[in-house]
Amino acid sequence: MPANTANPDRFLYERGQAALKEEKWLDAREYFRQVVDNYPQSPLRPDAKLGVGDAYIGQKGAENFVLAANEFSEFLTFYPQNPRADYAQYRLAMSHYMQMRAADRDQTETREALEEFQAFFTRFPKSPLTPEVRQKWRESRDRLSDHNYRVGYHYYRIGWYPGSISIWRTRL
């Protein structure tokens, strides 16, 4: 950081934003983390917290999605009334959405994404992000429906009809 910087938190935040745009995920996280850790009174602290989560999501990978979900959850805990809380809720849902597996695999992350999307609709019904969230919610519902169909069809194919029937009753 240059000497005699009037607003070191703003300087770090802007560097983090630049690193994020250049997809330098580790650098972006480091700049944002410095704002979060070293400037507790900074008005940029909430945005820096979101930046940390965005850098994790940008880097991709299961561990990074888990760490991103943690950052967005913490944001919602510490800043529930922040104007960007809807964005944090959306990104929290997306951290699960990006981990959804194919319809013939485990759907735990799909269910988690649906829960977080539903929390978004409940908490932020008038958010400008609603159309995009609704589209991702629909894709998640479709994935879960396809999964349930495939499981039921598998039980039907092998002749275990009680399993085929129960999947339709319990999962939808």
Q: Long-range contacts of range 54-59, CB-CB < 8 Å, 24 or more positions apart? A: 54/20, 54/28, 54/91, 55/16, 55/19, 55/20, 55/25, 55/26, 55/28, 55/29, 56/25, 56/29, 56/95, 57/91, 57/94, 57/95, 57/98, 58/20, 58/23, 58/25, 58/28, 59/25, 59/26
Residue 131 and residue 138: Cα distance in Å, rounded?
11
Residue 114 and residue 142: Cα distance in Å, rounded?
11
List the chain pLDDT tens, one digit each, 172 residues: 555 568 999 999 999 999 999 999 999 999 999 999 999 999 999 999 999 999 999 999 999 999 999 999 999 999 999 999 999 999 999 999 999 999 989 999 999 999 999 999 999 999 999 999 999 999 999 999 999 888 888 888 888 777 766 665 555 4
CB atoms within 10 A of CB 154: 14
The DSSP-derived string for 58-74 is HH-SHHHHHHHHHHHHH
Q: How far is C-alpha 54 from the geometric centre of its chain's CA atoms?
A: 9
Give the global pTM: 0.88
Residue 39 and residue 62: Cα distance in Å, rounded?
30
The length of the chain in residues reads: 172
